[in-house]
């Protein structure tokens, strides 16, 4: 059975080659007019300059953290000096490998993304189908590299650490890989999110609201910084986020598989997460290849067909293909690896079938999250249209309605998570697995592994989902390039439509990310309790009692951390945005020729100055929230002990899920409410009442109208919600788990 380790290794290598094929496809496309190339060159230069500076800072922090972790595990853990040294150096090296792979995947993915924007803009001059394919495949480079490097990294480190000869020991040694990935992801997401929103807020409030100029107008000094920010926040940041998700959740499931391996002597329980994720890569590739120009129907304006809806329809079909193939893959993986003679299932149904059904539940949860997120963030549905209607009475009602929608949108995703967890646990519990002698009979190992299988099922479509996410900033940049390059309105119509679809795909990716984090929360929490049991050998570790004062205090601190971290992230955006606003106003004031009526008399603003302000602001502001998120769980475990740490992990994760949903979907709804107005869909009758979206009568209230200004204000409030604090919470949720898993020996040593 150990030969199945070659499946993730071979598929991972093929996925890297597939990403190279996609990159070659995109880079062979023409880069457009000289004006397009000039704008794209400025974006590329700014993005790579920021990324270089950001990763230098993160590298220093990562090396320092690896040294600290190694020293703590060597001097403050149980066992012989040789065993402690072995644990320390294995964990530190795995930490650095995880950090390096995370950085590489984000860096290369963003490089291709910023090279794809002008090529998408150029393709939009020819057809919607070609522009859609170029932007999606450009985004897929990041998606497939992230998942492939995560899969390869975990598989190779597991093998190098003796996973095939000592499979019961190796998963605990590679936990550092997940911690390293989480560490880099936190700072990458924070820094990118602060950068992009500082630029976006400055560009929108001064450009659109005060100066009354269009979005991406070349006269706006912050426009290049804004376009750069789309890449560093949504490409590099989200790539690092989902890299960390796939790595940490794989390792957590492998740790749970150790107990099942000891009971059955079948290494398939440990290798299952890796093999199933490999099948997911194959499914994602086939779904992606379905989207091509020949299957995209060009918009027929006479029939009122919206090109954004056409693009979204094609992306959804590709996603459905991925999901159907993933269902086949999860059943195949269960049959090949979990089909043991001494493991039986209820009702005469084989054990592998029950686990295949549990994996299907995870896949269906990903579908549910995609459509729930679309409902709350797409302009065709009630929530966004409700916010649009509120813009008719000003910014205050726009913000009030948006916050109400943000609170409301938590309910359906949480219900979906609860159903998926409960159902996957039930399906897994239908499998009878013999326990190893001495194992406490206080846990349902089949049920817990069922939730792990569901988590793996949900993550099978990760590469395709991440391709759709990176598609968003590519199309956003393409719109800016066509605007600044002076292209025809028909070209801008296509890029605007793709940008609108991209806003929805970015929002649903955030929903997908938090959904997978929610499933993984129970998985990683269970893995932590298993690690505690391996040290203490008492069933009491599986009981986390909130009536215990230390557990209650730790749980309260965990919930407070979520709110305090969010506050720090949003305040960081506010501080950086304030400097950006002041700079844009200064340039308009000190250099009136920027806004000269005659284009021949105009001079270019100082774009580089705004890029530098965002860069310095992001790098300075990302450190403090990151340090708080890293040190808080360590302090709780050291002071209050491992059981209290479990309480913090449990309640902090729950709070993080709910707050992240509030921030992500609320911000996305505000954003698309603004886009709804800018697309010209807001029409009112003679009494000022909002008409139906498809009603062509009445008066159009579009760009530069008072409702549009109110929509811009709402979008500005939502920007740090959905692009800084919300996505960063995804990482914090899993960082709590990976830190806890890595430092469990320390907590046990201090509180035996």
DSSP one-letter string for 552-618: HHHHHHHHHHHHHHHHHHHHHHHHHHHHHHHHHHHHHHH-GGGG-SSGGG-----HHHHHHHHHHHH
Q: What is the pLDDT of residues 26-85, one digit of tens each?
A: 999 998 889 888 888 888 888 888 888 888 888 998 999 999 999 999 888 878 888 889
Q: Which residue has the higher pLDDT, 76 or 682?
A: 682
State the distance between the two ends of the chain, measured CA to CA, in whole angstroms: 38
**For every residue of 208-234, which 3-state class applies, written as one string?**
HHHCCCCCCCCCCCCHHHHHHHHHHHH
Output the six-digit token pair for 463. 């590469």
| Percent with pLDDT over 70 in the chain | 97
What was the pLDDT predicted at 302?
38
- CA 532, 533, 534, 535: dihedral to nearest 10 degrees? 60
What was the pLDDT predicted at 18?
95
Give the integer Cα–Cα distance in Å for 473 and 130. Answer: 17
With H, G, I as helix, E, B as strand and everything else as coil, classify residue 431: strand
**699 phi and psi angles, rounded to 5 deg:** -105, 130
The closest of 539, 745, 561 to 647, measured between CA atoms, is: 561
Give the integer Cα–Cα distance in Å for 319 and 364. Answer: 12
The closest of 143, 175, 145, 159 to 7, measured between CA atoms, is: 159
Output the six-digit token pair for 163. 């996973």
Under 8 Å between Cβ of 116 and 134: yes
Q: What is the pLDDT of residues 513-543, one digit of tens each?
A: 788 878 877 888 888 888 888 888 888 888 8
With H, G, I as helix, E, B as strand and everything else as coil, classify residue 439: coil
Ramachandran assignment for 58, one of left (phi > 0), alpha (psi -120 to 50 degrees), beta (any other): alpha
Distances in whole angstroms, Cα of residue 409 to Cα of each of 370, 371, 404, 729 = 13, 12, 9, 17
Q: Across residues 449-454, what is the average pLDDT?
A: 93
Give the integer Cα–Cα distance in Å for 279 and 460. Answer: 7
Q: What is the pLDDT of residues 213-268, one digit of tens each?
A: 876 788 888 888 888 887 777 777 777 777 887 888 888 889 888 888 888 888 99
What was the pLDDT predicted at 499?
82
Q: What is the pLDDT of residues 485-504, one digit of tens each?
A: 888 888 888 888 888 788 77
The closest of 701, 26, 722, 612 to 388, measured between CA atoms, is: 701
Sign, CA torsion 40/285/367/414? negative
Q: Kindly state the greatest CA–CA separation across the chain.
A: 85
The closest of 555, 744, 739 to 656, measured between CA atoms, is: 555
Q: What is the pLDDT of residues 292-344, one digit of tens each?
A: 766 565 555 435 556 767 788 888 889 999 999 999 999 999 999 988 777 88
8-state DSSP, 297: P
Cβ partners under 8 Å of residue 345, min gap 6? 351, 353, 354, 430, 431, 432
Look at residue 548 and tell me whether its pLDDT is greater than 90.
yes
Residue-wise DSSP of 135-182: HHHHHHHHHHHHHHHHHHHHHHHHHHTTTTT-TTTHHHHTHHHHHHHH
Look at residue 438 and tell me whether its pLDDT is greater than 70.
no
The full length of the chain comes to 752
Under 8 Å between Cβ of 411 and 381: no
Distances in whole angstroms, Cα of residue 117 to Cα of each of 156, 193, 603 = 34, 20, 25
The upper half-sphere exposure of residue 386, i.e. CA atoms within 13 Å in the direction of its Cβ, equals 17
Ramachandran assignment for 670, one of left (phi > 0), alpha (psi -120 to 50 degrees), beta (any other): alpha
Q: What is the pLDDT of residues 381-396, one digit of tens each?
A: 899 999 999 999 999 9
Distances in whole angstroms, Cα of residue 441 to Cα of each of 208, 340, 355, 540, 642 = 63, 21, 21, 11, 21
**431 phi and psi angles, rounded to 5 deg:** -100, 130
């Amino acid at each position: 059975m150990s030969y199945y380790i070659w499946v993730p290794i071979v598929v991972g290598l093929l996925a890297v080659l597939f990403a190279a094929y996609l990159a070659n496809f995109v880079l062979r496309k023409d880069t457009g007019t000289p004006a397009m190339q000039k704008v794209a060159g400025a974006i590329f230069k700014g993005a790579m300059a920021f990324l270089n500076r950001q990763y230098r800072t993160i590298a220093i922090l990562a090396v320092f953290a690896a040294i600290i972790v190694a020293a703590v595990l060597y001097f403050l853990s149980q066992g012989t000096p040789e065993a402690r040294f072995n644990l320390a150096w294995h964990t530190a090296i795995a930490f650095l490998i995880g950090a390096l792979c995370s950085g590489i995947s984000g860096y290369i993915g963003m490089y291709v993304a910023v090279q794809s924007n002008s090529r998408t803009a150029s393709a939009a001059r020819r057809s919607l189908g070609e522009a859609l394919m170029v932007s999606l495949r450009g985004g897929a480079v990041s998606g497939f590299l992230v998942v492939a490097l995560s899969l390869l990294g975990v598989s190779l480190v597991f093998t190098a650490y003796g996973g095939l000869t000592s499979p019961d020991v190796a998963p605990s040694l590679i936990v550092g890989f997940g911690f390293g990935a989480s560490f880099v992801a936190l700072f990458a997401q924070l820094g990118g999110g602060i950068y992009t929103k500082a630029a976006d807020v400055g560009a929108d409030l001064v450009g659109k609201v005060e100066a009354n100029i269009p979005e991406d107008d070349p006269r706006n000094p912050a426009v290049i910084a804004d376009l750069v920010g789309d890449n560093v926040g949504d490409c590099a940041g989200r790539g690092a986020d989902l890299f960390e998700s796939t790595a940490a959740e794989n390792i957590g499931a492998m740790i749970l598989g150790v107990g099942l391996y000891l009971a059955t002597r079948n290494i398939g329980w440990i290798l299952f997460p890796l093999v199933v994720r490999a099948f997911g890569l194959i499914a994602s590739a086939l779904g992606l290849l379905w989207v091509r120009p020949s299957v995209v129907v060009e918009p027929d304006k006479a029939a009122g067909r919206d090109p954004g809806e056409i693009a979204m329809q094609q992306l959804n079909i590709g996603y459905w293909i991925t999901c159907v193939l993933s269902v086949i893959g999860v059943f195949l993986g269960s049959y090949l690896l979990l089909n043991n003679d001494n493991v039986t299932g209820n009702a005469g149904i084989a054990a592998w079938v029950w686990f295949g059904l549990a994996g299907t539940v995870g896949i269906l949860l990903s579908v549910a999250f995609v459509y729930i997120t679309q409902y709350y963030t797409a302009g065709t549905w009630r929530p966004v249209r409700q916010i649009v209607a509120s813009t008719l009475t000003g910014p205050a009602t726009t913000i009030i309605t948006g916050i109400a929608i943000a609170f409301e949108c938590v309910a359906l995703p949480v219900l979906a998570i609860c159903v998926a967890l409960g159902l996957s646990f039930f399906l897994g519990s239908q499998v009878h697995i013999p326990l190893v002698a001495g194992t406490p009979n206080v846990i349902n190992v089949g049920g817990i592994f069922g939730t792990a299988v569901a988590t793996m099922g949900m993550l099978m479509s990760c590469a395709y989902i991440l391709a759709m996410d990176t598609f968003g900033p590519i199309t956003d940049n393409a719109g800016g390039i066509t605007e600044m390059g002076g292209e025809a309105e028909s070209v801008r119509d296509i890029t605007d439509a793709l940008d609108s679809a991209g806003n929805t795909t970015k929002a649903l990716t955030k929903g997908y990310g938090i959904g997978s984090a929610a499933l993984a929360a129970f998985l990683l929490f269970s893995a932590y309790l298993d690690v505690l049991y391996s040290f203490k050998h008492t069933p009491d570790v599986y009981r986390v009692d909130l009536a215990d004062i230390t557990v209650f205090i730790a749980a309260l601190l965990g919930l407070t951390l979520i709110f305090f971290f969010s506050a720090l992230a949003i305040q960081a955006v506010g501080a950086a945005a304030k400097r950006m606003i002041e700079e844009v106003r200064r340039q308009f004031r000190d250099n009136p020729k920027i806004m000269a009526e005659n284009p021949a008399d105009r001079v270019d603003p100082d774009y580089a100055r705004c890029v530098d302000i965002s860069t310095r602001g992001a790098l300075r502001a990302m450190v403090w929230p990151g340090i708080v998120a890293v040190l808080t769980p360590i302090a709780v475990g050291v002071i209050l002990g491992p059981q209290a740490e479990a309480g913090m992990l449990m309640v902090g994760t729950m709070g993080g899920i709910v707050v992240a949903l509030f921030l992500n979907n609320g911000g996305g709804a505000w954003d698309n409410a603004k886009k709804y107005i800018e697309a010209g869909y807001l029409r009112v009758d003679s009494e000022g009442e909002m008409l139906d979206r498809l009603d062509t009568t009445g008066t159009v209230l579009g760009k530069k109208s008072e409702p549009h200004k109110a929509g811009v204000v709402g979008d500005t409030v939502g920007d740090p919600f959905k692009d800084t604090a919300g996505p960063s919470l995804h990482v914090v949720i899993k960082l709590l788990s990976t830190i806890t898993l890595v430092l469990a020996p320390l907590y046990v040593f201090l509180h035996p």
